[in-house]
């Protein structure tokens, strides 16, 4: 059976995706009603979201190095980060109440230092394998 894909964005009345202040709590509350197993989130979206709405990046704490214990009904956040731009930021995602845990998609191009960074925090990392069919 093929997966069911749902695109969920917050947009303004004129259809814009930028230059307005979305209600992120409401955004994820609505997204949660789809009962998805996973949300695919762009690493740039995460980085900009943290910059705009995070109020600064808190220091990592001991609990950030452990897998969170949350309801299995919550979705995983699957984040492709083949450029390692989220190093030092992923703990903010893990702390988010609407996220079960984070799975990071990496590539062979990622520095080994970033892979170790993910492993130290028990973040699941999966090598990206793209197959194109013709």
- Kindly report, residue by residue over 22-65, the tens digit of the pLDDT: 787 788 788 888 888 888 899 998 998 888 777 889 999 999 99
> Is the separation of the CB atoms in 126 and 105 below 8 Å?
yes
pLDDT grade for 133, boundaries at 50, 70 and 90: very low
With H, G, I as helix, E, B as strand and everything else as coil, classify residue 119.
helix
- pTM, two decimals, is 0.80
Tell how far CA 102 is from the center of its chain. Answer: 6
| pLDDT above 80: residue 15 | no
pLDDT for the residue 4: 76
**Cα→Cα distances 15→12, 18, 46, Å:** 5, 9, 21
Question: What are the residue boundaries of the structural domains of the chain, listed by start?
Answer: 37-52+73-134
Per-residue buried b or exposed e for 4-21, using 16+ beta carbons within 10 Å of the residue's own CB: eeeeeeeeeeeeeeeeee
How much is the mean pLDDT over the chain?
85
pLDDT grade for 71, boundaries at 50, 70 and 90: very high
Place of tokens 């695109």: 7
Return d(Cα 129, Cα 106) in angstroms, integer.
9
């Amino acid at each position: 059976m093929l997966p069911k894909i749902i695109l969920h964005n917050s947009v303004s009345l004129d259809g814009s995706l930028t230059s307005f202040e979305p209600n992120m709590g409401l955004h994820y509350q609505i997204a949660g009603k789809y009962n998805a197993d996973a949300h695919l989130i762009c690493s740039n979206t995460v980085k900009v979201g943290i910059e705009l709405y995070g109020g600064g990046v808190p220091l990592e704490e001991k609990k950030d190095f452990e897998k969170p214990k949350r309801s299995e009904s919550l979705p995983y956040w699957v984040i492709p980060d083949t450029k390692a731009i989220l190093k030092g930021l992923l703990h903010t995602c893990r702390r988010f109440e609407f996220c079960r845990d984070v799975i990071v998609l990496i590539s062979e191009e990622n520095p080994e230092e970033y892979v170790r960074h993910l492993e130290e925090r028990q973040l699941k990392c999966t090598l990206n394998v793209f197959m194109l069919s013709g």
